[in-house]
Structure 1
Amino acid sequence: ADLMPLSGVIANTAALMALTSYGDRIMSLSLQAGAHISQTSISSAGVLGLKSEYLVFDPEEMNIDVDKSRQKILKYRPKLVITAGSVYLFPHPVKEIKEICDEVSARVMYDGAHVAGLIAGKAFPNPLGEGCDVVTFSSHKTFPGPQGGMILCNDSLGKDNIKRLSEAAFPKLISNHHLHHVAGKAIAAAEMLEFGQGYARQIVKNAKTLAAALYAHGFRVLGEKNGFTRSHQVLVDISKEGGGSKVADSLEKANIICSKQVLPYEDEKFTDPAGIRIGTQELTRVGMKENEMDEIAGFMKRVIIDGENPESVRDDVVAFKSNYNQVHYCFRSGEAYNYLDDIYNSIQHWMK
């Protein structure tokens, strides 16, 4: 494990540097299907001189099409295949992709930036347990710590590759890993050990409830066939209501924050996409549960479907949020250090 990366992008870049060489071919999802830009030719992969091809994504299932992706993997024989990414409703078929990659001696990397907290809380499958060689993630999304990134790997990667992975972070990419963040990452990890399962389960419950409530209000929520979501994310096609940019701006005026989002069946309309992406991790962290998701869906309906002035809705949103100002699923003052001290003593005892 390496907690030195300053962000998920740096973690991804380090993994790409360690596992590929200039001119190698890699495969990931397309940006429309949920890949992070660092996985593609417009960012880290392109800077490193890698050739990008895309796995096949099924918009109806909102997941990787294993059979069609297998054909492409066997055709292009990539050095590395990347699963997961920035838009991620349902667990990807990691085990199946790994088995296909073994046929062409390709490594498998998992970009867990958005779902790391769900994995740690056992609400999402563990990609290392499913055979992934490398897992990268951010320490500040569903994993509720300070800004940063981390890299994990399986022993199957081999000593030489593990050494290259470690050296890619330091000294090749960073020289200062922001030491003041290390304690925060340790406390966040300790909180995930102590409270993570309850936190992760509630995140998913909240996302499912919010998605269902929006759907009941007439929104076109993606993933209906499979229960809308199994993660913290909800995707909504908002093209008929003005598109992602316009709707996200209107919601922001009502103090409801989401992001515009290109959808899997769109062309590359990144500046004015059809969708919005909503997350429930912060709502959960301040103690909101299913009933509150129904209220939030109602606020969104007032702005987007009913056409109510966002500023008037904002007053109600502010009053609603004022009841949720305490952080949940966390240690109280001083408890974290005692917890970490106990872990340290246990490790010291085990090493004797």
Structure 2
Amino acid sequence: MEVFDLIRQQSEYMKSVIPLIASENVTSKFVRECYLSDFGHRYAMGDVEKRIYSGCNIIDRLEELAIKYTKELFGCEHANVKPISGTIANLAVYRALTECGDKILALPVKCGGHFSFHDSANVRCLRTVEMPFDPSEFNIDLDNAKKKIIEERPKLVILGASVFLFSHPVKELVEVAHEVGARVMYDGSHVLGLIAGKEFQDPIKEGADVVTASTHKTFPGPQRAVIMCKEELAEMIDYGVMPCVVSNHHIHSLAGYAMACIEMLEFGRDYARQIVRNAKALAEELYNLGYNVLCPHLEFTKSHQVVVDVGNGCEVVGKLEKANILTNPCLLPWDDDKASGIRIGVQEVTRLGMKEDEMREIARFIDMALKDKKPIKDIKNEIKEFKSNFLTVKYTFEEHPAY
């Protein structure tokens, strides 16, 4: 049948490419088995022990387990595991903590901000004020951000990013935000796995009121999301999630999230540590090959991402795709409409067992493709042979084929 043919084609394709999309990862067989369970047939509207439908006793235990593991991993006071995407999680927070017409302070897209800080905020009729940004440091301009908070008095200050190289000044901005009665939300979607593995800042310990995150980037779980918050906000956040933006919350992927939490409790530190090492190694090699990798004075990155100014991101991404290297274009602070950058993520190749030596090899493949050092066909063949040694999921309880 055509659908199954396409599934097979996708699996074969992934065996021959280098996946460097910063917002993707590959799950373990244990997570995948959850997708195929009977949970995928069921509804569980409402809260634990307060469901609208009957027959949810076992689902209640599952949700309690997912909440327990979330609290254990991240040290949060309250966790809501119902959101089915990062954008939905952000919308729930807007519903809970703001009213129509309120101001929010967030990074613009060309400085790494996610579209949900802007376009999705319009659903709530919010006015987004741009967070000051320092392009040379690729980070929030702390002094000007403090001034902006005092001047604008937003209802919500949003930290975290989609293009995210370095920790944000959470503690410093929380202090100022609270002075003017604002709450602080940290979107940790990209770095959730690094936070779990203790290789990035801990926004909860640094005082963020709410942390939202999708669970399928550096955190190697299913495509859904989580919200963590202070206990005083729990009731508002829970209502903002269900019934406001979530009905049934896809119980099969909730089981997958719980399973991914178990894996991260066991293997998260080693996994996160290797991700950051790999990102630095790839960035350094690309820099040595002559590419304009951002922030060499800061060792390029402290996350899973590497950002390169290539002049025309879309053109470069297209050229790399022809060679079976997958990445994506991104706007940079100095851009108008055309994306001049590419964003590279190493979390998936790390989960396949690649380390620093392989990152240098990937840099060589990128260089060959962009400088036409070999015919595309030859580069694709070399990549396929290279990838054939990395088709197994690591950092899990039992290694197994990735595709």
TM-score using structure 1 length: 0.89
**In the alignment, what sits opposite 1:258?**
327
Deviation at 1:306, TM superposition (A): 4.0
Aligned: 1:83 with 2:130: no
Aligned: 1:182 with 2:254: yes
Question: Matched residues in 2 for 1:59 and 1:288: separation?
Answer: 31
- Does the CA contact (< 8 Å) of 2:95 and 2:244 recur in 1? no
Question: Matched residues in 1 for 2:132 and 2:155: separation?
Answer: 17
Question: Matched residues in 2 for 1:69 and 1:182: separation?
Answer: 37
- The count of residues paired between Structure 1 and Structure 2 equals 321
SS at match of 2:357: helix
**In the alignment, what sits opposite 1:5?**
83
**Consecutive aligned runs of 4 or more in structure 1 exceeding 2 Å deviation:** 305-312
C-alpha distance after superposition, 1:290-331 (max 9, x if no partner): 000000000000111345433321111111001001101112
Q: Note the 1:306-345 alignment, pairs <5 A.
A: 306=372, 308-332=374-398
Question: Matched residues in 1 for 2:388 and 2:173: separation?
Answer: 45
Match of 2:106 among 28, 35, 40: 28
Question: Matched residues in 2 for 1:25 and 1:9: separation?
Answer: 18
Give the RMSD, CA atoms, in angstroms. 1.1
- Unaligned 5+ segments in structure 1 are 334-352
Q: Note the 1:234-245 alignment, pairs <5 A.
A: 234-239=306-311, 243-245=312-314
C-alpha distance after superposition, 1:197-218 (max 9, x if no partner): 0000000000000000000000
**In the alignment, what sits opposite 1:135?**
211
Question: Matched residues in 1 for 2:331 and 2:354: separation?
Answer: 28
Deviation at 1:251, TM superposition (A): 0.6
Question: Matched residues in 2 for 1:92 and 1:6: separation?
Answer: 25
- Unaligned 5+ segments in structure 2 are 1-78
C-alpha distance after superposition, 1:222-255 (max 9, x if no partner): 011211000000000000xxx1111101111111
- Does the CA contact (< 8 Å) of 1:64 and 1:92 recur in 2? yes
Question: Matched residues in 2 for 1:223 and 1:191: separation?
Answer: 33
C-alpha distance after superposition, 1:117-158 (max 9, x if no partner): 000000001100000000000111100001101100123xx2
**In the alignment, what sits opposite 1:219?**
291
SS at match of 1:130: coil
Aligned: 1:117 with 2:193: yes
User: Higher relative CO (CA 8 A, sep ≥ 6), structure 1 or 2?
Assistant: 2
Question: Matched residues in 1 for 2:374 and 2:188: separation?
Answer: 38
- Does the CA contact (< 8 Å) of 1:254 and 1:311 recur in 2? yes
Match of 1:19 among 88, 97, 100: 97
Question: Matched residues in 2 for 1:98 and 1:311: separation?
Answer: 52
- Does the CA contact (< 8 Å) of 2:106 and 2:128 recur in 1? yes
Letter in 1 for 2:121: A
Deviates more, 1:284-293 or 1:161-170: 161-170
Aligned: 1:208 with 2:280: yes
- The percent of aligned pairs where both chains have the same amino acid is 50
**In the alignment, what sits opposite 1:74?**
150
SS at match of 2:190: coil
**In the alignment, what sits opposite 1:340?**
none
